[in-house]
């Protein structure tokens, strides 16, 4: 691991009647030969070992033990059934962009828009380590 953000606590999105979530972003250095799909498989394995269950009838955006998303993988772009890179919803989520700013302040999206510009365009509020959106 190269860097990890502090934990931020975020009000639930989509499904509001649940506890707040803790969010962090980690910046990793992968050894050569690691693919985005291979890294995703490893992340899903970590989730499973920590008790995450992905039943088909589980409510989307509901409470879960852990949720690890692969946001970006270098400059790779994917649009597949298993993996989309960059993560398709990250640009609209302050709970992703605020901690991402801690570990990659110079990040820009493939369309050239900077992390700071994208975050400034989102209606959100940060107080300490709490994020409202």
Active site positions, annotated? 52, 64, 67, 69
12: closest CA among 4, 20, 3?
A: 20
> What span, in angstroms and rounded, lies between the C-alpha atoms of 14 and 25?
20
23: closest CA among 58, 67, 65?
A: 67
Q: What is the DSSP string of 27-88?
A: E--PPTT--HHHHHHHHHHHHHHTT----TTSPTT---S--------TT--EESSS-EES-T
């Amino acid at each position: 691991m190269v860097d990890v953000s502090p934990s931020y606590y975020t009000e639930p999105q989509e499904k509001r009647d649940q506890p707040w979530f803790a969010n962090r972003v980690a910046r990793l250095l992968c050894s050569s030969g690691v693919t985005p799909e291979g890294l995703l498989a490893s992340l899903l394995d970590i989730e499973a070992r920590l008790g995450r269950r992905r039943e088909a009838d589980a409510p989307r955006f509901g409470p879960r033990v852990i949720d690890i998303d692969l946001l970006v993988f270098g400059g790779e772009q994917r649009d597949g059934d298993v993996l989309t890179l960059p993560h398709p919803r990250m640009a609209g989520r302050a709970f992703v962009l605020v901690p991402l700013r801690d570990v990659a302040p110079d990040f820009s999206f493939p369309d050239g828009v900077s992390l700071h510009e994208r975050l400034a365009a989102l209606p959100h509020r940060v107080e300490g380590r709490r994020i409202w959106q």
